[in-house]
Amino acid sequence: MNSLAKKIGVIGAGQLGRMMALSGYPLGCKFAFCGGSTDEPSALLGDMHVGEICDTKWLLEHADVITYESENTSVELVKGLAKTKPVFPPEKSLYVSQHRGREKALFDELEIPCAPYEVVSSLEELKQAVDLIGLPAVLKTTTEGYDGKGQFVLKEAAQIGEAWNTIGNRELVLEGFVEFDRELSIIAVRNEQNEHVFYPLVQNVHHEGILRYTIAPAQQIIDSVQEMAEAYMGKLLDELGHVGVLTLELFETNGGLVANEIAPRVHNSGHWTMEGAETSQFENHVRAISGMPLGSTKPRQTIAAMINIIGEEGPSAKVLSMPKAHLHLYDKSERVGRKLGHINLLADSEDELYEQIKGLSEYLPS
């Protein structure tokens, strides 16, 4: 019997848990999920508890170690579970990453460049923050925003009242607008023995706040930029005592890399690793939280891409007919704006990759 194999409990039962389980079963691990319904993507991949609130007694009975899919997971839930069983990533990573103000304060503390910001709780405070930071700026909810939700781009002072009425009446953060060339992200993994491994920086292209495709590795990245991203990640991993996958979203600017936000989990911009890296982000997360040696993050080919399938399943047969395309569907019903799956593409050159992407234009916004 594999002494390193664990029973892994997952708070959530979405596609991230699904892909985690699919990578963990070959390692001998077993999985249990706390989810909201039997229709969720992970429902058939392990023991399943259905309920709006996770049954902690049930989860503890079915797990040696516990992880979660979302930074919107309750800190109190994680804190309570951690009294009995290890929970990774730990409470501090969750506490910091689920609040944009705390996140930015940590960037400042660790001397990681980020946009100027002010946390505000009233219309008057918002007006004062605009005076301090200037316009344009981006107003965001401090918690629970994702895929562009809970955001308002302020271009002129006349919009302040509209912005507050649209997403206000709660705590918000105003961030100075960052002039950037590209959006990048880096994924890192740390285990309890303080080993760090890093995937290459990737380029992310968003549309209406939703990630549409990722190019991996990001092209024209010099070694010093990758090293700088890894240095930022090293500081974050160690300060948080993080165990598992951590993602840092960045802006590439004329002055260098500027941090946007972190996610204490496997991440959409890392899905390319399933075929594109020697060890996927999902397998490395399982390895890290189970106490296994971490796997190589080296890319398997010159360049890869990940295309999100949004809203409609699209021409799956066309994808399956392409020799270097890999289709991943999440067993979710179609709905506007919903992530239904993704396509991973492998190529030996940029030209080859972009020809493949061009051939899948049905999956991309016009």
Rounded to a whole number of angstroms, the CA Rg of the chain reads 20
Q: Return d(Cα 66, Cα 33) in angstroms, integer.
A: 10
List Cβ neighbours of 326 (8 Å cut-off, separation of 6 or more): 274, 275, 343, 344, 345, 346
Q: Determine the pLDDT at residue 1.
A: 47
89 within 8 A of 112, measured Cβ to Cβ: no
Site of tokens 């103000």 = 101
135 within 8 A of 157, measured Cβ to Cβ: yes
30 within 8 A of 7, measured Cβ to Cβ: yes
273 within 8 A of 279, measured Cβ to Cβ: yes
Q: Return d(Cα 292, Cα 286) in angstroms, integer.
A: 8
Distinct helix (H) and strand (E) counts, the chain: 12, 17
Domains of the chain are 7-87 (3.40.50.20), 116-176 (3.30.1490.20), 182-363 (3.30.470.20)
Q: Determine the pLDDT at residue 92.
A: 98
User: Which stretches of the chain are DSSP H helices?
Assistant: 15-24, 56-61, 75-81, 91-97, 100-109, 123-133, 160-167, 223-240, 273-276, 281-290, 316-320, 350-358
Q: Return d(Cα 125, Cα 115) in angstroms, integer.
A: 18
Task: Count Cβ atoms below 10 Å from residue 280 Cβ, excluding itself.
Answer: 24
**Per-residue confidence in pLDDT tens, the chain, 366 aa:** 467 889 999 999 999 999 999 999 999 999 999 999 999 999 999 999 999 899 999 999 999 999 999 999 999 999 999 999 999 999 999 999 999 999 999 999 999 999 999 999 999 999 999 999 999 999 999 998 666 678 999 999 999 999 999 998 899 999 999 999 999 999 999 999 999 999 999 999 999 889 999 999 999 999 999 999 999 999 999 999 999 999 999 999 999 999 999 999 999 999 999 999 999 999 999 999 999 999 999 999 999 999 999 999 999 999 999 999 999 999 999 999 999 999 999 999 999 999 999 999 999 987
Q: Return d(Cα 283, Cα 271) in angstroms, integer.
A: 11
Bridge partners (DSSP) listed for residue 185? 202, 249
**Which of 9, 12, 50 is closest to 31 using CA atoms?**
9
List Cβ neighbours of 283 (8 Å cut-off, separation of 6 or more): 23, 24, 27, 295
Longest Cα–Cα distance of the chain, Å, equals: 66
Handedness of CA 307, 309, 311, 314 (dihedral sign): positive
Contacts 24+ apart (CB under 8 A), 21-26: 21/45, 21/46, 22/282, 23/274, 23/280, 23/282, 23/283, 23/286, 24/282, 24/283, 24/286
Q: Determine the pLDDT at residue 144.
A: 80
